[in-house]
Amino acid sequence: MSHASDGSRTFGLRVLAGGTDLAARVSLDFQQKLFRRNYRWPVLASAALAADADDLTRWLTAGAARLLGYDVTARALNRIASEAAEPLFAHAVISGGSPRTGQEIRDGVADACEAADCTFLSGPEATTWDRKVTIAVSATGVVDRRQMMSRRRFDTGDIVLAVGSDRLWPAMVDPARQVLARPQAVKRLAKLPVDSATALVRPAPVLAGHLQTVLRRYTVKRVVHAMVPVEGDGLAAAAERLVGPRFEVKRVRSRRCYSDLLALLGRLGVEADRADEGHRLGIGYLMVVSEPFAEAIARRLRRLGAATRPFGRLVARKES
């Protein structure tokens, strides 16, 4: 099977020989007896995402093309993870820039795929290049119909967990850039695994693999009911997608930031009046779980490296 080397390092037992650079063969099940999943009712989940102009400018100006590829792929993978799907593979369409820029972006896509334990099918490289860079990533996963998320399992008192993210959304970028130029910012950032240059281009975290680890813990009990990433339209829109028309989220009192980077920027005086609250608090993901299992799930995610805390609980929506 002929593929670029940056994608081949993500190949696992699902990738079958005999494909080409124009198409690939990925099995929904493992052939080896030891690894068979035997989905009774397999359902494919798919999501596609393209980097917008602001993201392209920010990451490429910083010379962080690899992190750009990681970010776009992480966001696509997190979308299919919200359906409880095990990521199978990702495709990327990359054009423009230079051959070096294209290679760095592909490396970033492969990094994100490795973090999610899925395959990057990179396809053929571009043969012509220009200054305008474009990148789009599609991700596909599989989930057994019985394991899919469902609001029908919601109950009053279910806990909403929030997972942290260091990604800066557009309204936060300019205020953060001004603060990070100050000498005291450089000194205080030294306490975090990030510097003033890379703080502005932190990618979204790949949560797909972590969420699968949690879901495999509860293959019989249905304790995770719904999940959704927080994206550019903000926290309120994500919460609406999460809970639907019957419930709303009653917030816990704590307004602590879910990201060490965002917390530090706030202490340094970043003013972001136009930023969504979820973006200021560094919230990257929301999930509804049964109350008796909430702390165990949060603790497991924290052990995996995902900052996770209770955000609120479900209450019946008041009729207007």
pLDDT at 132: 85
Structure token pair of residue 41: 């009712």
- Is the pLDDT confidence value at 5 over 50? no
Please report where in the chains the tokens 């603060």 appear, as a residue: 179
Structure token pair of residue 240: 């609406």
What's the pLDDT band for 34 if we cut at 50, 70, 90?
very low
pLDDT at 275: 86
> Which has more confidence, 79 or 38?
79
- Is the pLDDT confidence value at 266 over 70? yes
- CATH for 151-316 is 3.90.650.10
Task: Share the mean pLDDT of the chain.
Answer: 86
What's the pLDDT band for 147 if we cut at 50, 70, 90?
confident
- Is the pLDDT confidence value at 186 over 90? no
Question: What residue spans of the chain are helical by DSSP H?
Answer: 5-8, 53-61, 65-81, 99-116, 170-180, 183-189, 208-217, 235-243, 260-267, 277-280, 294-303
Q: Report the CATH architecture of 5-147.
A: 2-Layer Sandwich (3.30)
240 φψ region: left (φ > 0), alpha (ψ -120 to 50), beta (else): alpha
Main-chain dihedrals φ then ψ at residue 135, nearest 5 degrees: -145, 130
- Is the pLDDT confidence value at 108 over 90? yes
Q: Dihedral sign, CA of 289, 291, 293, 294?
A: positive
Domain definitions of the chain by residue range: 5-147, 151-316
74-93 pLDDT, tens digit per residue, is: 999 999 999 999 998 899 99
Number of H helices, E strands in the chain: 11, 9
Please report where in the chains the tokens 């990179």 appear, as a residue: 122
- Give how far the C-alpha of residue 110 lies from the chain's centroid of Cα atoms, to the nearest Å: 14
The answer to whether 76 and 87 have CB atoms below 8 angstroms apart is no
pLDDT at 4: 44
Of the candidates 145, 140, 142, the residue with the CA atom closest to the CA atom of residue 41? 145
- Is the pLDDT confidence value at 64 over 50? yes
Dist CA 237 CA 262 (whole Å):
20
pTM score of the predicted model: 0.88
pLDDT at 1: 33
pLDDT at 3: 41
- Is the pLDDT confidence value at 21 over 80? no
